Amino acid sequence: MIKFKKTTLAIASAAVLTIAIAGTSYSQNSTESTQSNPLTKVTAVSGKTHMLVHKDPNCGCCKGWVEQLSPSFEASVNNTSDLAAIKDKYNLSLSHRSCHTAVTDDGYVFEGHIPNAAIKSFLANPPQGSLGLAVPGMPIGSPGMEVGNKTMRYPIYLLNKDGSSDSVYAYATGKVVEG
């Protein structure tokens, strides 16, 4: 009986370790997946929100933004040359578009170089009727857009499910979100 319990414990421990290791990597897909994401189960174990990041395969700043997500979020990547179709799917206005679009498993959309702190704040208490957040363009000093010590202050817009996005959720300078 004791030998059986040790063997069962060893197998269970190995399974948990395998899931945890799988959760620390991010995958790159060449096409958008419409099937259930296999990282969703890992997310439950790690406690991190999963995002699918749609980006151009040749964009270095997008790669930098994805890499900086890792302490707080799980990320997988869909490298695509048709970003306009993704942005159209989520009804993102031209004035709020940037170079990449991230979508959580819960359907929240994060467009552009948004600091982790703003995403965490939004996900902790999403405003009623909201779709997500957007940082239009590519502000100097924002996550993934670091250029030495240069930074600029930029707005983070609230995106709504009805297609509106006229209100500022917060301002940020570099990676620092203003209260």
104-161 pLDDT tens trace: 999 999 999 999 999 999 999 999 999 999 999 999 999 999 999 999 999 999 999 9
Q: Which residue has the higher pLDDT, 178 or 44?
A: 178
pLDDT at 46: 66
- pLDDT band of 166, cuts 50, 70, 90: confident
- pTM, rounded to two decimals: 0.75
Distance separating alpha carbons of residues 40 and 75, to the nearest angstrom:
10
Going from N- to C-terminal start, the domains of the chain cover 2-177
- Phi-psi group of 13: left, alpha or beta (phi > 0 → left; psi -120 to 50 → alpha; rest → beta): alpha
Q: What are phi and psi of 177, to 5 degrees?
A: -95, 130
pLDDT at 18: 30
